[in-house]
A and B are shown apart, each in its own frame.
Chain A
Amino acid sequence: MAVSGRFVALVVFGVAPIVLIGQPWALLAWLLLVAALATLDLLLAGSPRAVRLSRELPARVRLGESVASILLIANPGRRRVRGMVRDGWSPSAVAEPGRAPLDIPAGEQRTITTTLTPFRRGERRAAHVTIRSFGPLGLTARQATMIAPGTITVLPPFNSRKHLPSRLARLRELDGATSVMVRGQGTEFDSLRDYVRGDDVRSIDWRATARRATASGPGLVVRTWRPERDRRVVIVIDSGRTSAARIDNEPRIDTAFESALLLAALASSAGDRVDMVIYDRRVRARVQGATGAELLSRMVSSMAPVDPELIEMDWTAVPALVRSITSNHALVVLATTIDAPGTSRGLLAVLPQLTRKHMVVVASVTDPTVLDATQQRSNRDDVYRAAAAERALLDQSRVAAAVRQLGAEVVTAAPQDLPPALADAYIALKAAGRL
């Protein structure tokens, strides 16, 4: 049960008769009248319990986009249901409007459209629907809450896809498919063809030329290469406690997701096979054996519900995890944090096992505020902060040096720059034939 503003107005309007009559019993009479009207109104209100609810909503939405959630309300009762309805979405789903007017004649059905603009990744849920049904006088209402679950999966935004066209163009240049003369640095032998002016003389295959030698002339033959194809790329994303840290208001894990998505899009169009695993002490998500468009779609849906766990990453299990994915040489990308020697000890301990067989790239987000802090030295507090920031940078560079010494590559950048930086590192490795 609920009362309306009209009810309050009715109560306060009783001042007039009480003053006019001027007797204390007028108060009692007025209260009885109000109570009678309120009870009558309540009895005449349509039952909110009887309505039938169903939902129509898309299964997934990309973070930052809006989507319409449709609630169908049928009124099978004999009385009109008139009042308000509230669709109980969780706050981070940002449902607009929060409450909507409702007027369903007996035996009919109406739709309530709510626009959802979620601001947090993962599964956003609606728990229940609350209906407040007013009587014909609009004084009092019957209210009931019905369990009406609804779920929408909010996918990572993949904002870094804007970098994809330029990187794909770089790949095509490697491929020799465009007219730009970039010498194929890839190591995979493709075919032999006649020498044309402009070819690198170092690529002349003298043995083939000798075999083809005819009277008509030298008929030089050059070797052509194409970039390696069908290589394996294994992306391991750390979802341990360090990935919960926010840099530029974005958790490290989200930056890792962005980087992984861009790399996967790039590598799959370059013909490589991409596998991804999100791990802290257990496998939180795994995408294996997917290709083409299915790869990205499976990656985003497996990433969506993963949140950082406040536990330490278990690096000792990572080599076995990689081995379970591929036994061949692969590019292993570890999206993690290399901040301090203490926290990176586990990573450094297992790196040799990985680098022995695979090409390893460690991708880590750096905090641009730390870099800014080193230059801010206007007063005493700032100087101490700058000193701490310098110390943090020194720690980072020490860990990065240790990682390089163990034979792995390091890619560090600010959150916005890490995905393209990782893509560039991949292209560079591919061009150098080190995959």
Chain B
Amino acid sequence: MTTQAPSQSVLTPTVGRVAKRALFWVAVAAFAILIAIVALATAGSTAGGAPLDPESAAPGGSMAVAEVLRQQGVDVVVASSLVEARNAVAGVDDTTVLLYDPDGYLDDDQLREAATLARSVVVVDANFTQLQAIAPNIAQAGDADTELTAGCDVPAAARAGSVSGEAVGYRVIDDSVGTATCFGSGDDVFSLVQVNRDGVELTVLGLTAALTNERVIDSGNAALALNLLGAKSTLVWYIPTLADVPDAGPATLGELTPPWVTPVLLLLALTFVAAAVWRGRRFGPLVIENLPVIVRSSETMLGRARLYERSSSRLRALDALRMGAIQRLAVLCGQPRSASVDEVVSAVAGVTGAQRHVIRDLLVDTIPGTDADLVTLSDALLVLERDVAVAVRP
């Protein structure tokens, strides 16, 4: 029994050392996050944003128009629901409402209300149902030309002169109401139709591109946009959203579940993590050990057997069996080690009383043609050995 020297040192690093080692990477991560924040803040978003969104700097947005209008002293109010638009309009008389509903969130009643919110309403890119609701005397007329000239006396259009960009056209199908038409593409198709009805000046504008950041500086686009939208002291920029869709139907799953379900699920997930840490925490490092090589000695024999088998070396295999058998038979018959095959054949024939040529065929001459022959001959060899062993037994 020997006491071995306690040359003890602790392998597990202390909390301080772990913190010190992690410090560099923590600093790297913090720096990366900082860079990302700065980059996001300065570069802004280049992509995304809804079309004609007055807060989007994307090519399809309309931040440019909105900002210029603000600089010109127009109070631009962004509304994303009819309620907000109503609130923005309330109490202010001198207001323009811009309505752009490409997704068709509003139903007919809401459209009609939106179209009469103020004295001046601009409906951009109205589709068939919207026109049916707010201006049944105007119909859609497909795509218009991309280069258009005003050709009318609506002040904003006249000042713009000409506009460019993708546009849709409208056709006036009922002249009974006073209408003004501008930017014609021929064949009575116009991209700006103004209707005065019940004291509301409703402008149906098909020149969507003229308001976007991308095209606003082309030809007279900016003049049209600023004059049309900046005529009044307040502009309510109303783009309907999901909030305008009246909610109906049965209560959702989220409304039906009690409030504690989500916290309990979270807690169970945390429990799973805790259990994983509990069972998974290693009790000290592994102990390393060199393992010995394992070489099974019969592998060469098995390998040779498979080589014989794959190459169908029946004669070679049978010869090996015969040589072993002849050696054992020679010993059984009392022949010396140096005895020739013929001597062994004679001795075996003498002991068993079989024909000499039969023994010779079995021990030397027969060539196996198939694997079945090989198995038969090998069995015959075993039988012969057994017979000789029985015959020579005293």
Contact with A along B365-389 (1 / 0, CB 8 A): 0000001001100110010000000
Complex: A370 Cα to B316 Cα, angstroms? 18
B158 at the interface (CB under 8 A from A): no
Contact of B301 among A52, A56, A149, A385 (CB under 8 A): A385
Do A22 and B258 contact each other (CB < 8 Å), given the known contacts A54-B6, A385-B301? yes
Give chain B residues whose Cβ lies under 8 Å from the Cβ of A129. Answer: 284
A310 at the interface (CB under 8 A from B): yes
B317 near A56: Cβ-Cβ < 8 Å: no
B289 near A90: Cβ-Cβ < 8 Å: yes
Complex: A389 Cα to B40 Cα, angstroms? 77
Contact of A145 among B10, B275, B294, B302 (CB under 8 A): B10
Complex: A126 Cα to B258 Cα, angstroms? 56
Contact of A374 among B2, B271, B281, B324 (CB under 8 A): B324
A388 near B274: Cβ-Cβ < 8 Å: no
B320 near A394: Cβ-Cβ < 8 Å: yes
B297 near A27: Cβ-Cβ < 8 Å: no
B304 near A149: Cβ-Cβ < 8 Å: no
Contact of A384 among B10, B297, B317 (CB under 8 A): B317
Give chain A residues whose Cβ lies under 8 Å from the Cβ of B250. Answer: none
B292 near A149: Cβ-Cβ < 8 Å: no
Nearest A residue to B307, CB-CB: A388
Q: Which of B77-85, B147-155, B259-267 contacts A (4 or more CB under 8 A)?
A: B259-267
Nearest B residue to A366, CB-CB: B297
Which one of B14, B301, B371 has the highest number of Cβ atoms from chain A below 10 Å of its Cβ?
B301
Nearest A residue to B3, CB-CB: A56
A145 near B284: Cβ-Cβ < 8 Å: yes
A21 at the interface (CB under 8 A from B): yes
Complex: A178 Cα to B266 Cα, angstroms? 89
Do A149 and B4 contact each other (CB < 8 Å), given the known contacts A19-B264, A27-B266, A251-B292? yes
A246 near B284: Cβ-Cβ < 8 Å: no
Expressed in whole angstroms, the minimum distance between the Cβ of B383 and any Cβ of chain A is 11
A390 at the interface (CB under 8 A from B): yes
Do A12 and B267 contact each other (CB < 8 Å), given the known contacts A5-B278, A23-B260, A144-B10? yes
A384 near B309: Cβ-Cβ < 8 Å: yes
B260 near A19: Cβ-Cβ < 8 Å: yes
B21 at the interface (CB under 8 A from A): no
B295 at the interface (CB under 8 A from A): yes
Give chain A residues whose Cβ lies under 8 Å from the Cβ of B277. Answer: 2-3
B12 at the interface (CB under 8 A from A): yes
Do A390 and B324 contact each other (CB < 8 Å), given the known contacts A18-B260, A146-B11? yes
Contact of B274 among A8, A56, A245 (CB under 8 A): A8
Expressed in whole angstroms, the minimum distance between the Cβ of B186 and any Cβ of chain A is 64
Size category, B interface: 35 or more
Question: Which B residues, 284 to 333, have Cβ-Cβ distances below 8 Å to chain A?
Answer: 284-285, 287-289, 292-298, 300-302, 304-306, 308-309, 316-318, 320-321, 323-324, 327
B283 at the interface (CB under 8 A from A): yes
Do A127 and B287 contact each other (CB < 8 Å), given the known contacts A147-B7, A367-B298? yes
B42 at the interface (CB under 8 A from A): no
B260 near A252: Cβ-Cβ < 8 Å: no
Expressed in whole angstroms, the minimum distance between the Cβ of B255 and any Cβ of chain A is 15
B263 near A8: Cβ-Cβ < 8 Å: no
B321 near A88: Cβ-Cβ < 8 Å: no
Nearest B residue to A245, CB-CB: B297
Give chain B residues whose Cβ lies under 8 Å from the Cβ of A159. Answer: none
Give chain A residues whose Cβ lies under 8 Å from the Cβ of B281. Answer: 2-3, 143
Nearest A residue to B276, CB-CB: A8
B1 at the interface (CB under 8 A from A): yes
Contact of B2 among A56, A128, A387 (CB under 8 A): A56
Nearest A residue to B308, CB-CB: A384
A76 at the interface (CB under 8 A from B): no
Given contacts A26-B263, A31-B270, A143-B284, 11 further A-B pairs with CB under 8 A are A3-B281, A54-B3, A54-B5, A58-B1, A58-B2, A99-B283, A340-B300, A377-B382, A386-B378, A387-B316, A388-B308
| Closest 8 A/B residue pairs (Cβ) | A130-B284, A387-B317, A27-B263, A388-B305, A245-B297, A390-B324, A90-B289, A388-B304
Chain B residues packing against A (C-beta within 8 Å): 1-12, 14, 258-260, 262-264, 266-268, 270-271, 274-275, 277-278, 281, 283-285, 287-289, 292-298, 300-302, 304-306, 308-309, 316-318, 320-321, 323-324, 327, 371, 374-375, 378-379, 382
30 A-B pairs, CB-CB below 8 angstroms?
A15-B268, A27-B266, A30-B267, A53-B6, A91-B289, A92-B289, A99-B283, A129-B284, A143-B12, A143-B283, A143-B284, A145-B11, A147-B8, A149-B4, A244-B293, A246-B297, A247-B297, A310-B293, A367-B298, A370-B298, A370-B301, A373-B301, A377-B378, A380-B309, A380-B374, A383-B317, A386-B378, A392-B301, A393-B324, A394-B324
Chain A residues packing against B (C-beta within 8 Å): 2-5, 7-8, 11-12, 14-15, 18-19, 21-24, 26-27, 30-31, 49, 52-59, 84, 86, 88-92, 99, 120, 125-130, 132, 143-151, 244-247, 251-252, 307-308, 310, 339-340, 367, 369-370, 373-375, 377, 379-381, 383-394, 397
